[in-house]
Chain A
Amino acid sequence: MPTYFIRRVLAAIPVMLVVAVFVFLLLRLTPGDPAAILAGDMATPDQLEKIRTSLGLNEPVYVQFTRWIGGLLQGDFGTSLISNTPVIDLVADRMWPTIWIALITITLSVIVAVPMGVLAAWKHRSWVDHAVMTFSVLGFSVPVFVIGYLLIKLFALDLGWLPVQGYIAPSQDFAAFAARAVLPALTLASIYIALIARMTRASLLDVLGEDYVRTARAKGLTERRVLFRHALRNAAVPVMTVIGTGFALLISGVVVTESVFNIPGLGRLTVDSIFARDYPVIQALILLTSGVYVGVNLIIDLSYSLLDPRIRY
């Protein structure tokens, strides 16, 4: 296992390198002078020259690339063109709200969805199954912002139990953080609960038809033991995949929810930077998102071999 882990981590390096090259070329290969693109229509020749020098555009491409990569390795992602602050600080600031909301959302979804899926599969074709599937369709099809505004109306405006929107760091005031995180997490979880419950149900239904489940029953085991010890672990691999990719998606793209609840997270930073053509920030965000995907995939793959001893690399 340790050698496998090291091999997989090493294998991630070329992937990240390819992403880095792509991100680097994104700016350099756009038609026209990158400096002119960056500076916008109203730039003076002086400003253009300044941008060129600061980006090192007057030097050969390979020199630019090694310098850029060297900077990345030292944590230097460049400076935002708009706010003039280091990109790393900007991203680090916005990262935590997103990570917190993502973690709460995924935990909540798993806790609710897996038992729901198990119940639906076990009571296949009963009213429980139908109820779970109906909820699942709703969770998928109602747009996130509708759920978000409905929750705000109910819990924040009508009942007044929770604040409408905003974000406070947990280190600052945990109770205030929790009160503000509940609604966005619930909003996002509606999709993930639907998705994970559906996946658990489908995967478990397959497994419940397997011979070894019949063997387990023939041994005189209780239904609970049959379900949780024999069936669930065999059904876990596809469910893990959904949970993992779901988490990666939550890190990179929850713009709508962040907007609805006014959370200063990565999703909004991404959209803002794209509109502002803040290339250094966009580059950093692409690198970060790819890094999260590579990392999550690594963890998912490792979890496979823990769940199923037949999977060995």
Chain B
Amino acid sequence: MSLLEIDNLTVAVDRKNGKTVVRDISIHIEPGELVCLVGESGSGKSVSSLATMGLLPKGALKVTAGKILLDGENLLDLSPSELRDRRATRMSMIFQEPMTALNPVHKVGDQITEVLEAHTKLSNADKHAKVMDMLKQVGLPDIERVAGSYPHQLSGGQRQRIMIAMALILEPRLLIADEPTTALDVTTQKQILKLIKDLQREHGTAVLFITHDMGVVAEIADRVYVMNQGDLVEDGPVMEILATPKEDYTRKLLSSVPSLVPRPARASVSKKTALDVSDLNKFYGAGRFLAKGSATHAVQDVSFKVTAGRTLGIVGESGSGKSTVARCIMHLIEPTSGGIRVGGQQISGLSRRGLKPYRKKLQMVFQDPYRSLNPRLTIEESIIEGPVNYGTPKAQAKARAAELLDLVGMPEGSADRYPHMFSGGQRQRIAIARALAMEPELLVADEAVSALDVSVQAQVLNLLAEIQERTHVAILFITHDLRVAAQICDEVAVMQRGQVVEYGPTADVLGAPAHDYTRSLLTAAPGRDWDFPNFRPVAA
């Protein structure tokens, strides 16, 4: 008998004739097996897992048909209190964002102990011992101190370890992990994946691992289920899915995964330097009145150049200073020292007014297209706002906006509509059109494709490349994702703790890394041995 058997499960919006979000899916997991549920946003993968835990948002979604059997017991027939008894003891769950998944006002040790309080009658000493033992098992250092800490005092990786400890302390037979490494840096992700795999082996726990990342799938899965828009598309052992996918959707999904092998360098189109950054430094927290503690040196002596028509990638993990560099260049924050030249003109140190003529030469595309467009402005208003501010007649700006929307592949009639009517990928196209409306010499893209699904991501990357070919705009591409960097950048600068540790042509830096840190980033990239678009292992 399977440990978990989901039979013909259907979940719909809890309203009369509510929309079906998960349609007739069947999934089974054997004891000790690690099964990946893969899909893009809106595929219904998280909903399926929440339905299993009985955690569907009340009044919003409900199961309309099917069975969910855990050890042969139908979870959908249980009373709320019976279901509560099963949670944490027989099945438990960890979530994507360990910062928000832990209660900020309670110590993490207490939050783990709470599981024991709810389900066991152990003495205080026994509870403490069990918590400490679990903290040790998840590989946390200095466990007494960690147990007495609040979530915000720990790192992202440590927080996820706490979540795992909390989930596994009563040795449930099933662990549901909903994108548990998506919010983490690659090196941390690697450690957490290994931890889940190790614990799973030691305790014989079955894992239902939900992810959008094919790299992660290649790394850890025994079997894979692929979902798309509420339907189960395909399932099978991981090697079959990766090497011989049968369905078009699966093939498309795999082909969209950018390869880690750097693309061949392009011939340079221009000698003109669009951006020249020299010895840039930024301190945070210095010079404030009565400030406590020392300043953080967020950016240290960073220098690089971007020529017209080329793309420079700045890659690094969180806290590496890559976004601070972008913000200094955009003058969203003031650099502490160093030069920033745009089209040969020194712009660091200029006053607000002195900067104005150069502002339009620099435009930015932000990470989250859901928050970077003003929801109260139509698409057209958003796009023409900048040019009109710089004196372009309104009619002319509108005509240009229409051209740009066409250029970025938006359907006709988009101009008069509002941002909420578009998908994430479309919104990012709009954001790009808005940036281009200023006819910039430099486009700064800060994690501009990180919030997008992999197939949409591929389209936006193609769009950027196309636009660059036509307009010869220089692009500064900030990303944590080496795969994306390998596909779009001509040159790459790797940043670690505020410093550029390696800088050169992409083929050299990612093809034959010289610095230890670059190497560790590459080794940590999940699925690096698999060539997804070609359905085969990477040729040695």
List residues of chain A with CB under 8 Å of any chain B CB.
124-125, 210-212, 214-222, 225, 229-230, 233-234, 307-310
Distance, CA A302 to CA B163, complexed state (A): 30
Q: A308 contacts B103, CB within 8 Å?
A: no
Q: B84 contacts A211, CB within 8 Å?
A: no
Is there a chain A Cβ closer than 8 Å to B482's Cβ?
Answer: no
Contact for A218 among B59, B92, B97, CB less than 8 A? B92
CB-CB under 8 A from B93, the residues of chain A are 218
Contact for A221 among B92, B106, B114, CB less than 8 A? B114
Q: A234 contacts B104, CB within 8 Å?
A: yes
Is there a chain A Cβ closer than 8 Å to B265's Cβ?
Answer: no
B20 to chain A, nearest CB (A): 23
Interface residues of B in 64-108 (CB under 8 A from A): 84-89, 92-93, 95, 97, 100-106
CB-CB under 8 A from A234, the residues of chain B are 103-105
Q: B87 contacts A211, CB within 8 Å?
A: no
Is there a chain A Cβ closer than 8 Å to B166's Cβ?
Answer: yes
Distance, CA A240 to CA B491, complexed state (A): 54
List residues of chain B with CB under 8 Å of any chain A CB.
53, 55, 59, 84-89, 92-93, 95, 97, 100-106, 114-115, 118-119, 150, 152, 163, 166
User: Which 10 pairs of residues, A with B, have the shortest CB-CB distance?
Assistant: A220-B87, A211-B100, A212-B103, A220-B84, A220-B88, A211-B101, A309-B150, A218-B93, A215-B101, A219-B88
CB-CB under 8 A from B85, the residues of chain A are 220
B49 to chain A, nearest CB (A): 11
Task: Name the residue of chain B whose CB is nearest to the CB of A237.
Answer: B105
Q: A225 contacts B118, CB within 8 Å?
A: yes
Q: A212 contacts B102, CB within 8 Å?
A: yes
Known: A212-B102, A212-B103. A218 touches B114 (CB 8 A): no
Task: Name the residue of chain B whose CB is nearest to the CB of A310.
Answer: B152
Distance, CA A310 to CA B154, complexed state (A): 12
Task: Name the residue of chain B whose CB is nearest to the CB of A231.
Answer: B103
CB-CB under 8 A from B114, the residues of chain A are 219, 221, 225, 229
Q: B59 contacts A307, CB within 8 Å?
A: no
Distance, CA A211 to CA B98, complexed state (A): 9
Task: Name the residue of chain B whose CB is nearest to the CB of A218.
Answer: B93
CB-CB under 8 A from A310, the residues of chain B are 104-105, 150, 152
Q: A218 contacts B105, CB within 8 Å?
A: no
Q: B55 contacts A217, CB within 8 Å?
A: yes
CB-CB under 8 A from A233, the residues of chain B are 105
29 contacts between A and B (CB under 8 A): A124-B59, A210-B100, A211-B97, A211-B100, A212-B102, A214-B101, A215-B95, A215-B101, A215-B163, A218-B55, A218-B87, A219-B114, A219-B115, A219-B118, A220-B86, A221-B118, A225-B114, A230-B106, A233-B105, A234-B103, A234-B104, A307-B105, A308-B104, A308-B105, A309-B104, A309-B105, A310-B104, A310-B105, A310-B150
Q: B95 contacts A214, CB within 8 Å?
A: yes
Distance, CA A309 to CA B107, complexed state (A): 9
Q: A216 contacts B59, CB within 8 Å?
A: no
Distance, CA A210 to CA B102, complexed state (A): 10
Q: B150 contacts A221, CB within 8 Å?
A: no
A137 to chain B, nearest CB (A): 23
B15 to chain A, nearest CB (A): 13
A209 to chain B, nearest CB (A): 8
Distance, CA A310 to CA B86, complexed state (A): 33
Distance, CA A164 to CA B89, complexed state (A): 61
Q: B103 contacts A216, CB within 8 Å?
A: yes
B263 to chain A, nearest CB (A): 38
A131 to chain B, nearest CB (A): 18
Q: A215 contacts B103, CB within 8 Å?
A: yes
Q: A218 contacts B53, CB within 8 Å?
A: yes
Q: B103 contacts A220, CB within 8 Å?
A: no
Interface-central residue, A233, A234, A309, by most chain B CB under 10 Å: A309
Distance, CA A234 to CA B100, complexed state (A): 12
CB-CB under 8 A from A307, the residues of chain B are 105
**Beyond A220-B89, A308-B105, 7 additional pairs, beta carbon < 8 A:** A124-B59, A211-B100, A212-B104, A217-B87, A221-B118, A225-B114, A230-B106
A102 to chain B, nearest CB (A): 29
CB-CB under 8 A from B115, the residues of chain A are 219-220
Q: A215 contacts B88, CB within 8 Å?
A: no
CB-CB under 8 A from A216, the residues of chain B are 103
CB-CB under 8 A from A219, the residues of chain B are 87-88, 92, 114-115, 118, 166
CB-CB under 8 A from A124, the residues of chain B are 59
Task: Name the residue of chain A whose CB is nearest to the CB of B152.
Answer: A310
Distance, CA A18 to CA B163, complexed state (A): 51
Q: A220 contacts B118, CB within 8 Å?
A: yes
Q: A214 contacts B103, CB within 8 Å?
A: no
B319 to chain A, nearest CB (A): 19
Distance, CA A310 to CA B100, complexed state (A): 13
A217 to chain B, nearest CB (A): 6
B151 to chain A, nearest CB (A): 9
CB-CB under 8 A from B163, the residues of chain A are 215
B26 to chain A, nearest CB (A): 24
Distance, CA A218 to CA B150, complexed state (A): 20
CB-CB under 8 A from B103, the residues of chain A are 212, 215-216, 230, 234
CB-CB under 8 A from A308, the residues of chain B are 104-105
Q: A218 contacts B104, CB within 8 Å?
A: no
Interface-central residue, B92, B95, B105, by most chain A CB under 10 Å: B105
Distance, CA A309 to CA B150, complexed state (A): 7
CB-CB under 8 A from A218, the residues of chain B are 53, 55, 87-88, 92-93
A220 to chain B, nearest CB (A): 3
CB-CB under 8 A from B87, the residues of chain A are 217-220
Task: Name the residue of chain A whose CB is nearest to the CB of B86.
Answer: A220
Distance, CA A214 to CA B166, complexed state (A): 14
CB-CB under 8 A from B106, the residues of chain A are 229-230
Known: A211-B97, A217-B55, A309-B150. A222 touches B84 (CB 8 A): yes
A312 to chain B, nearest CB (A): 10
A240 to chain B, nearest CB (A): 13
B120 to chain A, nearest CB (A): 11
B316 to chain A, nearest CB (A): 26
A127 to chain B, nearest CB (A): 14
Q: A215 contacts B84, CB within 8 Å?
A: no
Known: A219-B114, A219-B118, A220-B84. A212 touches B89 (CB 8 A): no
Task: Name the residue of chain B whose CB is nearest to the CB of A308.
Answer: B105
Distance, CA A230 to CA B102, complexed state (A): 10
Task: Name the residue of chain A whose CB is nearest to the CB of B80.
Answer: A223
CB-CB under 8 A from A230, the residues of chain B are 103, 106
A156 to chain B, nearest CB (A): 45
B289 to chain A, nearest CB (A): 13
Task: Name the residue of chain B whose CB is nearest to the CB of A124.
Answer: B59
CB-CB under 8 A from B105, the residues of chain A are 233-234, 307-310
Interface-central residue, A219, A230, A233, by most chain B CB under 10 Å: A219
CB-CB under 8 A from B53, the residues of chain A are 218
Distance, CA A233 to CA B106, complexed state (A): 10
Distance, CA A173 to CA B84, complexed state (A): 54
B13 to chain A, nearest CB (A): 15
Distance, CA A219 to CA B54, complexed state (A): 12
Task: Name the residue of chain B whose CB is nearest to the CB of A230.
Answer: B103
CB-CB under 8 A from B152, the residues of chain A are 309-310
CB-CB under 8 A from A222, the residues of chain B are 84, 118
CB-CB under 8 A from B89, the residues of chain A are 220
Task: Name the residue of chain B whose CB is nearest to the CB of A309.
Answer: B150
Distance, CA A249 to CA B84, complexed state (A): 45
A1 to chain B, nearest CB (A): 15
Interface-central residue, A124, A211, A225, by most chain B CB under 10 Å: A211
Q: B119 contacts A215, CB within 8 Å?
A: no
CB-CB under 8 A from A309, the residues of chain B are 104-105, 150, 152
A97 to chain B, nearest CB (A): 38
